Amino acid sequence: MPIYEFICNDCNEEFEELILGSSPEIKCPKCSSQDCSKKVSAFAFKSGANFVGTGKRAASNCAGCSSTNCSSCGG
C-alpha cells in the first residue's frame, strides 16, 4: 500500500496519505481543503552494505541491526 506525500495549496500543510484506491479524495488534515498537490518523494532501500537510491553506504554496525530507523544505531 503506497503512502504519498502531499502539500495543501491553501494552507501549505505537508502531510502523508495512505492511498487505497485508484482516485481517492484527498483532504488536508489541517484545513480540509481538497486543493492538494502530490510531492515528489525520495525513495531508498538497503541492499547489502548500500542504501540504493541515496548513494550512501550503511555503517558497519548495521549488519545485525533490526531497527527500522538507521539514526537509532548510527547507520
pLDDT tens column, 15-64? 999 888 777 789 999 999 999 999 876 665 666 666 565 555 555 555 55
Cell numbers for 38, please give them: 502530490
pLDDT reported for residue 50: 63
pLDDT of residue 4 exceeding 70, the answer is yes
Q: Strand pairing partners for 15?
A: 6
Burial class (CB in 10 A: 0-12, 13-18, 19+), 15: middle
Domain-by-domain residue ranges, the chain? 1-65
pLDDT number for residue 31: 97
- pLDDT for 25 equals 87
**DSSP letter, residue 24:** P
Tens digits of per-residue pLDDT, 62-74?
555 655 555 555 5
C-alpha cell at 31: 484545513
Nearest to 31 by CA among 51, 16, 9: 9
